[in-house]
Amino acid sequence: MNTKNDTHLKTVGYILWLFGFTGSHRFYFGKPISGTIYFFTLGLLGIGWLIDFFLIPSLDRQADLRFRAGRINYTVAWILLTFLGLLGIHRMYMGKWLTGIIYLLTGGVLGLGYLYDFWTLNDQITVINSSP
């Protein structure tokens, strides 16, 4: 296994899978469209959620190939987004202080920025990790 670009952790994927009917594990591994579908269909009525138990190693490998490791840790950013996203702490962690403070003062810009970050956090981190 190539640990140099190990951007996501299977263990975190499995923990999020426990809440898989919300699509959280799919968002974490960079699959926002299926994550949204899972959210609105309760994990494809539980069937997709059960199948994903076996797909998590593959989702992890795909994420490790797609996203770039660097100074920003994906797992830390995802934990901060999930639990403190409305306060913008994840944005401050990524060095985006201005938008972090705006999130803090506006509840994640009334929750819409929070949802936007669920869709785009992996790509935002990759861009930061790609810059010198």
**Does residue 38 share a domain with residue 90?**
no
Q: Of 13, 37, 66, which residue constitutes the final position of a domain?
A: 66
With a pLDDT cut of 70, the percent of the chain lying above it is 97
**Does residue 89 share a domain with residue 56?**
no
In this predicted structure, the answer to whether residue 66 has a pLDDT above a threshold of 50 is: yes
**Does residue 80 share a domain with residue 38?**
no
Long-range contacts of 17-23 (CB under 8 A, 24+ apart): 17/49, 17/52, 17/53, 17/56, 20/49, 20/52, 21/46, 21/49
Write out the two tokens for 109. Answer: 């810009």
In this predicted structure, the answer to whether residue 7 has a pLDDT above a threshold of 80 is: yes
pLDDT digits (tens, 9 = 90+) for 18-54: 987 789 999 999 999 999 999 999 989 999 999 999 9
**Does residue 81 share a domain with residue 56?**
no
98: containing domain: 74-130
CB count within 10 Å of CB 71 equals 10
Instruction: Provide the whole-model pTM.
Output: 0.87
What pLDDT, on the 0 to 100 scale, is given for residue 3?
52
Distance CA 115, CA 71 (A): 24
What total of structural domains would you count in the chain?
A: 2
* Beta strands per DSSP E along 1-132: none
**Does residue 37 share a domain with residue 55?**
yes
Distance CA 23, CA 89 (A): 22
**Does residue 95 share a domain with residue 43?**
no
Distance CA 104, CA 15 (A): 27
**Does residue 79 share a domain with residue 62?**
no
Q: Of 37, 66, 95, which residue constitutes the final position of a domain?
A: 66
In this predicted structure, the answer to whether residue 2 has a pLDDT above a threshold of 50 is: no
**Does residue 47 share a domain with residue 8?**
yes
